Amino acid sequence: MDRNERLQQLIRSNRLRELKADLSSWNPADVASFLEQLDGERRLLVFRVLPKDLAAAAFAYLPPEMEEQIVSAISDAEVGQVMDRLFTDDAVNFLEEVPANVVLRALRSVDKDTRERITRFLNYPKNSAGSLMTAEFIELHDRLTAREALDVVRREGSRMETVDVVYTIDDTRRLTGALRLFDLIRAREGLALRDIKRDQPVAAKTLEDQEDVARAFRRYDLTQMPVVDGEGRLVGIITADDVMDVIQQENTEDMERMAAMAPSEKPYLKTSPFALAKKRIVWLLVLMISATFTGGIINGFQEVLSSVVVLAAFIPMLMDTGGNCGSQSSTLVIRGLALGEIRPRDALRVLNKELAVSLLCGAALAAVNFGRILLFEPQTGAAVALAVSLSLLVTVMVSKCLGGLLPIAAKAVHLDPAVMASPLITTVVDAVSLLVYFGFARAILGI
């Protein structure tokens, strides 16, 4: 990048004032990207040159290891300056990822109120609404007038994460409504907030799961959402940008589970081989051991295999097709469950659909397979072709129905449906398809 090149030059020639002037107009996310590319010493140099607000904003975009490195290298006073400027949600994200000594140092650097607030937020369980929310929003007593409210917004707004919507509370700090800033500027100045028509906002509870929060954002097309505690008191807000991250993170986790891995929070390239291996090995071992049962089935039918040796050649095709069919169905159902489009009570509808689909797919595959064997491998013979094709049809039907139902069953007993994906279903379907196959072979070939 041209812009980066120029800045690198400024750093090399130590023209820090120009560097500062240039960076000051940048978006904090871009500043963070630039900092990421530098080595540790230069990163620190540039970080210290930045205007304080921009430094804190860019800090929040850095990966945890660089945040930690910076905090370890700067003075207590500087740590305090960063911490004071961070939104609570960014401070919490940072503190959740760094070692205890860094947490203690960071908390020591802020005033008592901030420390108490951050500590309270840190205590909400991971993946709860409470852990997503931030404390920088405007709450107004609903006795205030529109003019008083606007004065508060003007005075305090720049310290807030957003003032697009402000919230009204009553004497007991209970959430009573939401007002867009637009509603405020349109209202008659002397009117009390409680007399302005407010929205009854969709609110989250602090302990609500972040997936449910994300679903509510999508259902109601929200850009922000208030969070209330058990008594209905307003304690924070969640903004759309954090919800987008939640959506991506939940999707990544689902995909990882569907590929038989323990979910990971760090980006792939930043995870060590040892950590990656640890996430993968458990399921690989479980599935490997399970697959030996499939081997046991082959062992049990040795006499069938040795009397018609060509039968073995169709095993990979049967197993793979069964696995693929099961994986298609389970993927659609897992996804439908995650998006709330399929519920456990739809099990029968899913079964009916998969029966119909698998009959269509199975018949087509079986017909093509039968024709292919007769045309291109005539030495195999029609009897074997028939046994293989019938097994294929049954395998497709069983695997699609299992693929459709197992994720729903998992959901019904409060397991993660994503676990019932391709790898596990493949292992089950392998055994089924071999039993069916040897059954048909025996019956049709009279072995």
46 to 85, contacts with a copy of itself by CB under 8 A? none
Tokens of 316: 């990979």
Q: Does residue 332 touch a copy of itself according to CB under 8 A?
A: yes
Q: Does residue 276 touch a copy of itself according to CB under 8 A?
A: yes
Name residues contacting a copy of itself, limited to 157-216 (CB under 8 A).
157-158, 162-164, 180-182, 185-186, 200, 202, 214
Residues 328 and 95: their CA atoms lie apart, in Å, by 41
Closest distance to a copy of itself from the beta carbon of 249 (Å)? 10
Stretch that binds a copy of itself, among 13-21, 47-55, 113-121, 235-243 (CB under 8 A): 235-243
Stretch that binds a copy of itself, among 70-78, 103-111, 203-211, 252-260 (CB under 8 A): 252-260
DSSP-assigned letter for residue 135: S
Residue 80 exposure: Cα atoms within 13 Å on the Cβ side: 8
Q: Which is nearer to a copy of itself, 48 or 215 (CB)?
A: 215
Closest distance to a copy of itself from the beta carbon of 437 (Å)? 12
Select from 188, 252, 185, 242 the least CA-distant residue to 217.
242
Q: Does residue 227 touch a copy of itself according to CB under 8 A?
A: no
**Judged by CB under 8 A, which of 4, 13, 27, 119 binds a copy of itself?**
27
Closest distance to a copy of itself from the beta carbon of 125 (Å)? 24
Select from 72, 74, 84, 85 the least CA-distant residue to 28.
85
Binding mask 425-444 for a copy of itself (x = CB under 8 A): -xx--x---x----------
Q: Which is nearer to a copy of itself, 99 or 293 (CB)?
A: 293
Q: What contacts 283, CB < 8 A, 6 or more positions away?
A: 260, 261, 262, 423
Q: Does residue 106 touch a copy of itself according to CB under 8 A?
A: no
Residues 308 and 294: their CA atoms lie apart, in Å, by 19
Residues 337 and 384: their CA atoms lie apart, in Å, by 40
Number of residues that bind a copy of itself (CB under 8 A): 112
Residue 255 exposure: Cα atoms within 13 Å on the Cβ side: 8
Stretch that binds a copy of itself, among 4-12, 99-107, 315-323, 435-443 (CB under 8 A): 315-323
Select from 164, 175, 181 the least CA-distant residue to 142.
175
Q: Does residue 412 touch a copy of itself according to CB under 8 A?
A: no
Select from 392, 390, 426 the least CA-distant residue to 406.
426
Closest distance to a copy of itself from the beta carbon of 267 (Å)? 4
Name residues contacting a copy of itself, limited to 333-362 (CB under 8 A).
333, 335-336, 339, 341-342, 346, 349-350, 353, 356-357, 360-361
Stretch that binds a copy of itself, among 43-51, 119-127, 269-277, 436-444 (CB under 8 A): 269-277
Tokens of 8: 């690198």
CA distances from 428 to 69, 201, 297, 312, 400 (A): 48, 47, 12, 19, 12
Closest distance to a copy of itself from the beta carbon of 164 (Å)? 4
Q: Does residue 251 touch a copy of itself according to CB under 8 A?
A: yes
Residues 85 and 87: their CA atoms lie apart, in Å, by 7
